[in-house]
């Protein structure tokens, strides 16, 4: 029995998964997936509404001050400026933040679905692949 993944309290072998949530046999796994913790519907709606209000206030202020009538080309150039900033690396801190967000590794059996691991996207997907390999090996061994 070899260990396929071992990090931060999650250990995946060819026969079982041991996590703080408990021990699950590989043969009992029906599905495994990685997802992000979902914000509530009200939270997403509030964030979107605040974003729209901020954009409208900024555009309204620029229009009322007269700046927008004299500098409207900046509105057209904004997407190009954004792409240039991204290309030269000035938006890398945003990408690093997005990469470090926590993802959740979930496993389901016939009776329960449980979150077994929380980590950044790369580590969570490594653990998911280890589970997929263990399940594949189990089914290949059971066919023989």
pLDDT for 123-133, tens place per residue? Answer: 999 999 999 99
At 41 the pLDDT is: 61
10-residue averages of pLDDT along the chain (144 residues): 88 93 92 80 76 87 85 86 87 75 89 91 92 91 80
**Does the structural domain 3-37+102-143 have CATH classification 3.90.1570?**
no
Q: Sketch the domain layout of the chain as residue ranges.
A: 3-37+102-143, 41-89
At 13 the pLDDT is: 92
Do residues 1 and 14 touch, judged by C-beta distance below 8 A? yes
The pTM for the full model equals: 0.63
Which DSSP string corresponds to 35-86?
A: EEPPPPHHHHHHHHHHHHHHHHHHHHHHHHHTHHHH-THHHHHHHHHHHHHH
């Amino acid at each position: 029995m070899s260990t396929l993944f071992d990090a931060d309290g999650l250990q995946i072998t060819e026969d079982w998964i041991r996590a703080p949530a408990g021990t699950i046999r590989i043969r009992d796994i029906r599905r495994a997936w990685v997802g992000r913790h979902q914000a509530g519907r009200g939270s997403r709606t509030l964030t979107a509404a605040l974003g729209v209000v901020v954009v409208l206030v900024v555009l309204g202020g620029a229009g009322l001050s007269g700046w927008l009538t004299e500098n409207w080309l900046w509105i057209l150039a904004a997407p190009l400026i954004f792409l240039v900033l991204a290309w030269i690396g000035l938006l890398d801190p945003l990408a690093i933040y997005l990469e470090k967000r926590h993802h959740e590794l979930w496993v389901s059996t016939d009776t329960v679905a449980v979150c077994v691991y929380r980590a950044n996207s790369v580590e969570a997907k490594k653990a998911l692949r280890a589970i997929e390999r263990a399940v594949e090996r189990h089914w290949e061994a059971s066919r023989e």
